[in-house]
Amino acid sequence: MKLQHFTLLFTISLMLFNCQTAEKETVKEEEKINTSTIYVGTYTRKEGHVDGKATGIYELKMNVETGELSIIDTIEGTINPSYLAIHPNQKYLYAVNEIADGSRIGTITAYNIENEKAQKINEVSSKGDAPCYISIDRTGKFVLVANYMETIASYEIEKDGSLSEAVEVVEHKRERAAVFRQETGHPHIILPAMNNKTLFVADLGLDEILHYELNEKGEFTKVATTETVPLSGPRHLVFHPIYSKCYVLNELNITVEVFETKAANEPFERIQMINTVGDIDENVAPSAIKLHPSGKFLYVANRGINGGTGHNITAFSINESGELSFVASYSTEGEVPRDFEISPDGRFLLAANQNSNSIITFKINTTTGELESTGQQLEIKTPVCLKFL
């Protein structure tokens, strides 16, 4: 009887344990369904334009119903991991280390993010000072980097996610007379086209969008140049998913230029230029530009400068011709929104306030493009770039 009693108790205990385990697994699965993972690039030390205070790359989760954010983990031991890129296979994360102190050139760091704790894979030279943007070609074979000080570079991605040394480095030099902030070439974004054979580089120092072909070895060949308005300072650009349009964000003259895109090896044709803050007279420097997943709206971040307080996100509607109309500007409830991101489902916009150490969540009206504050915010030290996994 004693043995039977023990056996019964053991069986009941095992059933209870299995039930609890199943419940925990169910909760975990529900959490996965109800949350998105976001990686946040930051500044970790003082540079000429920012007093970096973060400790590395932050991993966040966002409640997809409310927009609430919380910190999951921090990837430490890296300097100024300002801009990030996630491999299409979702296994690897790449960060530029934005170093420009004259004693050490910038670097790029690769991480494996498959497991619960991210692991550093390797680090290579960015082949230029102040690497400010990083992307991955559509095939997932190459990492592409723009160094603010004159160069772009490509790197082969090895089977384990590690990076080779630079495959090719191209230098951008200004041939015209130097002017304020345009004393030389300043590549600010390197973006692969949907066909994956062409890359586009916005160069703030040259007032040019440079078109490059990317071959199977990761080498660049320049095939065309699109000139922006003189003294405009092109910083970032995006392509419309349906219309043959390219939207170029100009930092120096505070505008968005809209171009008709012909063949990739031909210059684009300008069809519109519009101020990034509408008719408002504000002292700002635009920082980032993003398209809504629907293709109906465009958003631009503006940083107040020279005493200006216009730290905001401006919303534009896009008509059937691909042209822009001003909707409204919305305070980011902080200072210096260096970057922002739109959730994959198009319901939320997250603004990273670099100088006030916060990420603010806005709800997007998917009919009008208007933004509404959710009241959700998270303290993050000197945030820069946001990437959804």
In 113-197, which ranges are E strands?
A: 119-125, 131-136, 142-147, 151-157, 163-171, 187-192
Digit-by-digit pLDDT tens for the chain (389 residues) are 455 655 555 555 556 555 555 444 444 454 556 899 999 999 999 888 889 999 999 999 999 999 999 999 999 999 999 999 999 999 999 999 998 776 668 999 999 999 989 999 999 999 999 999 999 998 999 999 999 999 999 999 999 999 999 999 999 998 888 888 899 999 999 999 877 689 999 999 999 999 999 999 999 999 999 999 999 999 999 999 999 999 999 999 999 999 999 889 999 999 999 999 887 777 899 999 999 999 999 999 999 888 888 899 999 999 999 999 999 999 999 999 999 999 999 999 999 999 999 999 999 999 999 999 999 999 999 999 999 99
Compute the Cα dihedral for 298, 132, 382, 86 and give only its sign. Answer: positive
Distance CA 235, CA 249 (A): 6
Neighbour-count burial for 348-378, b at 16+ CB within 10 Å, e otherwise: bbbbbbbbbbbbbbbbbeeeebbbeeeebbb
What SS3 state is found at 31? helix
Q: How many CA atoms lie within 13 A of 360 on its CB side?
A: 26
Answer for the pair 349, 342: CB distance below 8 angstroms, yes or no: yes
Which helix (H) or strand (E) segment is 17 a member of? helix 2-34
Which helix (H) or strand (E) segment is 288 a member of? strand 284-291
Q: What is the pTM for the complete model shown?
A: 0.90
Answer for the pair 222, 211: CB distance below 8 angstroms, yes or no: yes
Answer for the pair 205, 181: CB distance below 8 angstroms, yes or no: yes
The DSSP secondary-structure symbol of 15 reads: H
Kindly give the pairing relationship between strand 92-97 and strand 324-331: unpaired
Selection from 260, 262, 173, 266 nearest residue 213 by Cα? 266
Q: How many CA atoms lie within 13 A of 358 on its CB side?
A: 15
Residue 338 φ then ψ, to 5°: -75, -25
Answer for the pair 185, 109: CB distance below 8 angstroms, yes or no: no
Distance CA 127, CA 365 (A): 42
